Amino acid sequence: MSNDKTWSGRFNEPVSELVKKYTGSIDFDKRLAKWDIQGSLAHAQMLCEAGVLSQDDLAAIRQGMAEIIAEIEAGKVAWSLDLEDVHMNIERRLTDKIGDAGKRLHTGRSRNDQVATDIRLWLRDQISYIQGLIQNLQTALVDLAEQNADVVMPGFTHLQVAQPVSFGHHMLAYVEMLGRDFERMADCRGRVNRMPLGAAALAGTTYPIQRETTAKLLGFEQICQNSLDAVSDRDFAIEFTAAASLIMVHLSRLSEELILWMSPRFGFIDIADRFCTGSSIMPQKKNPDVPELVRGKSGRIIGHLTGLIMLMKSQPLAYNKDNQEDKEPLFDTADTLIDTLRIYADMMRGVTVKPENMRSAVMQGFATATDLADYLVKKGMPFRDSHEVVAKAVRHADEAGVDLSELPLEVLQGFSDLVSEDVYTVLTPEGSLNARNHLGGTAPEQVRFQVKRWRRLLA
């Protein structure tokens, strides 16, 4: 029978072609080749330092791996389904090149701890790249906030006009969300950066390995302390996907707002043509496809998170073949998140703000009603009484079809004799903004303060 399988000596018949296709992972895990080789080189050096591998074998492995890397980069590697996965494909190619030294490379390890190491090395790099993309998007939003610190727009609760806010302040809300996302990725990276190599199949190895040496060579900050947990743990993959899901939730929320704001019913912004598409039948259409797709792709990543949790929920220790199913959702999560962050930063740099339309919308929803209530409180009226007074004034203005700021002074004084001519300074949207000049408030001065703060943090 064929000896392509390293374990074929145990069996009386070869694996069926259907089983090969069903259980093989080379189609998707070949992308781990770079990190697989990185881990193998560190493992070989450690074995040599431990006296398990000769200097000649180490030199041969290094030379062979260098040639394989060159072949992979040149697209000259013919990945074989018969060899199941990226690990066996590389090992077979190495053995073909250097002979027995290639066969000795697997001493003291298993594919169980090898793949767990590969995924962590790969994910560690992805997280670092994602962190840079998060900061790039934050920078785009900070730029937009600085340019529009004085632009007034309606702030909403229940999607009803609530109070005036600065458009810059609104953008900075998403900068804060992304700041937490960055922190979560950094926190996740710390747990990703723990080395399982040396756990072997599940119980460790009888060879005199030096796991600290391998960890140092690979840049791992910690070493997985229990061999059973090391090969079966996928918490880090779930945690990364959860952090990615939150990023996508945040961008989905912003996408929903961009889509609404671009609608003629709002007309608050425009998105550059290069991020939009038209209609095959309606020549006037300009569709916000990018934010719509981001909104849709958020569900895709959240689905991967659910899938990974379900994958792990009933697995006994230690490694099980189920875990082969962790890679495709993990890969797709990283790919989708990276693509989304890249295009989103570019798109936000192509957003045009329409201040007149925003200010007009503020004037349609009695957005300064709370300011009038606060005005009366400062004049000595209890807040509950001022709330009632202003509610009556709003009802009157609504029936008259005007904003509170458009009511004559004598009409406003009819609701309370505490009202005087200075009331109009608090009834304008700009007055409302400027009045909230405290840490975290929407006043343009505070927006500029936060812009400077974020520029320091992002520098």
What value does the CA radius of gyration of the chain take, rounded to a whole number of Å? 31
How many Å apart are CA 244 and CA 189, to the nearest integer? Answer: 12
Report the SS3 class of residue 298. helix
Return the half-sphere exposure (C-beta side, CA atoms, 13 A cut-off) of residue 200.
12
What backbone torsions phi and psi does residue 202 show, to the nearest 5 degrees? -170, -20
Q: Would you call 158 a catalytic residue per the annotation?
A: yes
- Report yes or no: 92 and 81 within 8 Å, Cβ to Cβ: no
Q: Are strands 222-223 and 194-195 parallel, antiparallel or unpaired?
A: parallel
Contacts of 22-27 with CB under 8 Å at 24 or more apart are 23/84, 23/321, 23/324, 24/81, 24/84, 24/85, 25/84, 25/85, 25/86, 25/324, 25/327, 26/79, 26/80, 26/81, 26/83, 26/84, 26/85, 26/86, 26/89, 27/79, 27/81
What Cα–Cα distance (Å) separates residue 204 from each residue in 37, 200, 201, 227, 247?
21, 5, 7, 6, 37
DSSP state letters, 220-278? -SEE-S-HHHHHH--HHHHHHHHHHHHHHHHHHHHHHHHHHHHSTTT--EEE-GGG-B-
Q: Which of 54, 128, 263, 279 is catalytic?
A: 279
Cα–Cα nearest to 222, from 201, 194, 250: 194
Q: Is 413 exposed, middle or buried (0-12, 13-18, 19+ CB in 10 A)?
A: middle
> What is the maximal distance between C-alpha atoms in the chain?
101
- Report yes or no: 140 and 57 within 8 Å, Cβ to Cβ: no
Handedness of CA 329, 38, 220, 109 (dihedral sign): positive
Match 């199913």 to its residue by tokens.
Answer: 325
Count of Cβ atoms closer than 10 Å to residue 184 Cβ:
18
Q: Which of 2, 16, 158, 314 is catalytic?
A: 158
Helix, strand, coil tally for the chain in percent (to 5)? 65, 5, 25
Catalytic amino acids? 158, 279
